[in-house]
Amino acid sequence: MKLRSAEWFEGRDELGPQSRSVLRTLGWTREFFSGKPVIGIANSWSELNNCNLGLREIADAVKRGVIAAGGVPLEFNTISLGEELMKPTTMLYRNLMAMEIEETLRSYPLDGVVLLCGCDKTTPAQLMGAASANLPAIQVCAGPKHPGRWRGRQIGSGTALWQYLDQYRTGELSEDDWQALEACYSCGIGTCNTMGTASTMTVLSEALGMMLPGSATIPSADVRRLAVAERSGRRAVELVQEDLRPAQIMTRAAFENALRVYAAIGGSTNAIIHLLAIAGRLRVPLDLDDFDRVARETPMLLNLQPNGTRLMHEFDAAGGLPALLSELRHLLHLEALTVGGHPIRAQLGRQTHNDPEMIRPFDDPLHQAGALTILRGSLAPRGAVLRTSTATPELLHKRGPALVFESYTDMLERIDDPELPVTEHSVLVLRNAGPIGLPGMPEWGSIPIPKKLLMRGVRDMLRISDARMSGTSFGTIVLHVAPEAATGGPLALVQDGDQIELDVTARRLTLHVSESELQRRRAHWRSPVSLHRRGYPRFYQEHVLQADEGCDFDFLRPRDDEDLAFVPPIVGRS
Ligand code: FES
């Protein structure tokens, strides 16, 4: 086996000694590293990202596995995208992290990589970068955190917070209650324990074949997580020996499987954008209609917040993804390969289905088909997304007058104004929060219910935006409207009082305004969004694609197979 790293470590002239001296600086002898596969460990640990704090210990376990299998581990840190602290949104930096991963893998003497992920965007960013670099790769996640308890009830990350927030706004919860809740809210290191974006993306990484079977759901504090990290380190060495690469694993069949799983778990809407971006890196054909078709055919089986009542550790105890896959067996491409080296078929039946309240039988689902709906129509010509499983059934067919917020700031200033001209029949519209608009498409789509309606007991309304929302949120919320308002899409032309109609059965989102009137408005429209003057946000605004294309950068999607295979020449002098 000719190792890529040998180009450096066995290189001609001064390149060999120069490269080997780097490893000697680590205190390693030539016997330890000579001729062995070099495995990078991409660690997104950071004190700025509480969800990923467990990754140092996990990296140590990975190293153990790499060394035991005859490889040489080299850990490196990457940018870490912490959902709670990073503003305006981690989504702005997902592509930056993906570029960092891709370029690190390409430019250093690595034969393979173990990707350590956790919080929402770290998982897709690593998969995008690894897909483009196409070196043997395997992913290990931080694992869902232990749930806190408050007033005898398990606290589901995010979901419980949004529920209690409404009670706090109406005065049902006091300031003391609110502070007591805060103290119980985050009771452990690890990722959100609901089916938010982090859990959705790690489960989908396993479904795509990029994590070892059964590993996505293991809780962060469970010692099995260290064992699976060690096994992943071993496997990384074997992947190099087998020359098994991400492009052979993340195939169209693997994405079809991931879409089935996505529908069955009622996953976060953010995953649509991420899967489109990952597939785009590999030239795997995938579009919004694929999501809608698969969601129509696939029932939702997982009883997990925010769709259901349970949390991630209970999903794990019920058998995790392998048990769910067993229920979906007849819909899957069973020949799809995983990083374990076997087709996905091999893991079915290993886990018995032992909790039908957690993972519902296929013929007795939590929701019949349609946890997700892709909408099109005059308000969203290139598509919009609704997580039907968390919507209010009575609002799935709804027509009402628009109440428009020009920006997030405008919304915050007016939403609790007692004079706000709103009724429960209004359709709340937020715009200029899309990929270019802010930029970064923040999770602002879950527009709060106006306080005066909240006080009257209204808990859900039809809300529409070009933003995203947290995967832990719920409600009748139409997201990702494309094209976004900042580019002059129809969303930019809506005025207060315009009739908007949602028809989930017909998959339509209609703005009932005549084409001539829209043309008149368009002639007077000026974008309220200005490009940033400098730096990464400016670069982002100039290159980001719309939501229906995954919000990747235009120049990172390969145009042909030649783009897929780009490897820079290695030269002696740097
Ligand atoms: Fe990091 Fe939810 S905030 S996983």
| Contact indicator for 448, 458 with CB cutoff of 8 Å | no
Please tell me the distance between residue 338's alpha carbon and the centre of ligand 1 in angstroms.
Answer: 26
Assess whether the C-beta atom of 386 lies below 6 angstroms from ligand 1.
Answer: no
Residue 443 in contact with ligand 1 by CB distance below 6 A: no
Fold type of domain 36-145+188-347: Rossmann fold (3.40.50)
Q: Is the CB of 517 under 6 A from ligand 1?
A: no
Nearest CA to ligand 1 atom 2: 192
Residue 479: is its pLDDT beyond 60? Answer: yes
Residue 508 has a pLDDT of 98
Report the number of secondary-structure helices (H) and strands (E) in the chain: 21, 14
* Cβ of residue 51 lying under 6 Å from some atom of ligand 1: yes
User: In testing the pocket of ligand 1, which one of 120, 201, 468 has its CB within 8 Å of the most ligand atoms?
Assistant: 120
Can you tell me which atom of ligand 1 is nearest the CA of 191?
Answer: 4
Rounded to the nearest 10 degrees, how much is the dihedral formed by the CA atoms of 351, 355, 360, 366? -140
Distance CA 139, CA 300 (A): 26
120 lines ligand 1 (CB under 6 A): yes
Q: How far apart are CA 287 and CA 290, in angstroms?
A: 6
Task: Name beta bridge partners: 243.
Answer: none
Report the distance separating Cα 116 and Cα 102, nearest Å: 14
Which of 412, 414, 413, 421 minimizes the C-alpha distance to 442?
412
The DSSP code for 510 is E
Residue 364 — pLDDT band, cuts 50, 70, 90?
very high
CB of 192 closer than 6 A to ligand 1? yes
Q: How confident is the model at residue 337 (pLDDT cuts 50, 70, 90)?
A: very high
Answer whether 117 contacts ligand 1 (Cβ < 6 A): no
Q: What is the DSSP string of 388-450?
A: GGGS-GGGSEEEEEEEEESSHHHHHHHTT-TT----TT-EEEE-S-STTTTTS--S--SPPPP
Distance 81 CA to ligand 1 centre (A): 10
Which residue has the least CA distance to atom 3 on ligand 1? 83
State the distance from the centre of ligand 1 to the C-alpha of 345, rounded, in angstroms. Answer: 31
pLDDT score at 351: 59
198 lines ligand 1 (CB under 6 A): yes
**CA nearest ligand 1 atom 1, residue:** 119
Ramachandran class of 427: left when φ > 0, alpha when ψ lies in -120 to 50, beta otherwise: beta
Which pLDDT belongs to residue 218?
98
Instruction: Map 104-116 to HEC letters.
Output: HHHHCCCCEEEEE
- Give the Å distance between the CA of 160 and the centre of ligand 1: 14
Q: Is the CB of 191 under 6 A from ligand 1?
A: yes
Please name the residue that has the structure tokens 């996953």.
267
The answer to whether the CB of 403 falls within 8 A of the CB of 429 is yes
Does any ligand 1 atom lie closer than 6 A to the CB of residue 253?
no
> What is the CATH number assigned to the segment(s) 373-524?
3.50.30.80
Q: Alpha-carbon torsion 404, 408, 414, 416, what sign?
A: positive
438 lines ligand 1 (CB under 6 A): no
Is the alpha carbon torsion for 194, 195, 200, 202 positive or negative?
A: positive
CA of 26 to the centre of ligand 1 (A): 34
192 CA distance to ligand 1 centroid (A)?
5
Q: What is the pLDDT of residues 146-181, one digit of tens each?
A: 988 888 888 888 888 888 888 999 899 999 999 988
Per-residue confidence (pLDDT) for residue 151, from 0 to 100:
87
The dihedrals phi and psi of 112, each to the nearest 5 degrees, come to -160, 175
What is the whole-number distance in angstroms between the Cα of residue 83 and the centre of ligand 1? 6
Given a cut of 80, whether residue 219 has pLDDT beyond it is yes
Task: Dump pLDDT digits (tens) for 378-416.
Answer: 999 999 999 999 999 999 999 999 999 999 999 999 999
- Asked if residue 127 has its Cβ within 6 Å of ligand 1, the reply is no
Between the CA of 144 and the centroid of ligand 1 the distance, in Å, is 9
Q: Is the CB of 80 under 6 A from ligand 1?
A: no
36-145+188-347 and 373-524 agree in CATH topology: no
Q: Does 142 contact ligand 1 (Cβ within 6 A)?
A: no
d(CA 406, CA 19): 56
Tokens, residue 570: 């290695």
Between CA 285 and CA 373 the distance in angstroms is: 20
List pLDDT tens digits, range 260-292: 999 999 999 999 999 999 999 999 999 999 999
Please give the mean pLDDT across all residues of the chain. 94
pLDDT digits (tens, 9 = 90+) for 285-309: 999 999 999 999 999 999 999 999 9
Which residue is listed with tokens 């003057």?
Answer: 533
Distance 307 CA to ligand 1 centre (A): 18
Strand order in the sheet with 137-141: 72-77, 38-43, 112-117, 137-141
Q: 153-154 and 499-503: which strand pairing?
A: unpaired
- What is the mean pLDDT of the segment spanning 14-30? 95
Express each pLDDT in 424-448 by its tens digit: 999 999 999 999 998 999 999 999 9
Q: Which atom of ligand 1 is nearest to the CA of 472?
A: 2
Q: What number does the ligand 1 atom closest to the CA of 190 have?
A: 4
* Cα 543 to middle of ligand 1, angstroms: 27
Ligand 1 contacts CB of residue 196 (under 6 A): yes
1 pLDDT band (50/70/90 cuts)?
A: confident
Nearest to 43 by CA among 96, 97, 92, 3: 97
Q: How far is the CA of 118 from the centre of ligand 1 (A)?
A: 8
The CA 164 to ligand 1 mean position distance, Å, reads 18
Mutation test residue for ligand 1: of 93, 141, 192, 270, the one with most atoms within 8 Å of CB: 192
How many whole angstroms from 550 Cα to the centroid of ligand 1? 20
- Does the Cβ of 84 fall within 6 Å of ligand 1? yes
Q: Which helix (H) or strand (E) holds 137?
A: strand 137-141
Question: Hey, what are 312's tokens?
Answer: 């991630």
Output the pTM of the full model.
0.96
How many whole angstroms from 194 Cα to the centroid of ligand 1? Answer: 10
Domain boundaries, the chain: 36-145+188-347, 373-524
Query: Can you tell me which atom of ligand 1 is nearest the CA of 82?
Result: 1
Q: What is the pLDDT of residue 352?
A: 63
Place of tokens 């060999």: 16
Work out the angle at residue 181's Cα, subtended by the Cα atoms of residues 178 and 187, and round it to the nearest 5 degrees: 150
